[in-house]
Amino acid sequence: MIEVEVEDEAWTAALADAVAVAERAALAALGTVEGDVVVLLTGDAEVRDLNARFRDRDRATNVLSFPAAEMPLPGRAPHLGDLVLAYGVCAEEARAQAKTLADHLSHLTVHGVLHLLGRDHEDEGEAEEMEAEERSILASLGVADPYRADAQA
C-alpha cells in the first residue's frame, strides 16, 4: 500500500494530481515487492529540520528516505519506510532543469523508493546501476530520462 500525505498545500496548488503522481511512481518503483510506503509532500522548512536532525545537514533537500526497521507484523506486508519531499526545492529543480513538476516528482519518488529497497549511489558503480533502474521505471511511466545531458541544464 502506498499512502501519500500532503502537508504543504503548495504541492496540490501547483500540481493538482500530486498525490496520484507520487502513488503511481511509488508503485512502479516497488514492482513486485510487497510492502507499504508513506510519501509525505511537505515544505522546505520541514525537510530542512529532518535533514538536520537525522543527517546532520542543516539545509533543505529534495527528497529524504527513511527505511523502516525490519519488524514484520504477522499477516501484513512490511512497512518499507517513508519518503519526505520538499516542495520549494523540488519546484526550483524542476524549473532549473526544464522539467514538469510531475515528472520531477515521479523521478524523486522512484529514487526514494529505490533507497528504501536498499539501492544506493555511494560509488560510481552503484550510481550507474541505480540510475539505469530509475530510467527503466520512469520510461514505463512515460517520463523522460532525468539524467540525459539536456535535463541537467
What CATH number is attached to the domain comprising 99?
3.40.390.30
Q: State the total domains in the chain.
A: 1
Interatomic CA distance for residues 35 and 2, integer angstroms:
8
Residue type for position 31: G
Asked if residues 6 and 18 have their Cβ atoms less than 8 Å apart, the reply is yes
Residue 77 has a pLDDT of 82
What pLDDT does residue 99 have?
95
Ordered per-residue pLDDT tens for the chain, 153 residues = 999 999 999 999 999 999 999 999 999 999 999 999 999 999 999 999 999 999 999 999 999 999 997 766 677 788 999 999 999 999 999 999 999 999 999 999 999 999 999 998 888 999 999 999 999 999 999 999 998 865 554
- Phi, psi at 20, each rounded to 5°: -65, -40
pTM of the model: 0.93
Contact 105, 22 (CB under 8 A): yes
Q: Tell me whether strands 36-42 and 2-6 are parallel, antiparallel or unpaired.
A: parallel
pLDDT at 27: 98
H-helix or E-strand containing 37? Answer: strand 36-42
Q: Which domain does 132 fall in, by range?
A: 2-152
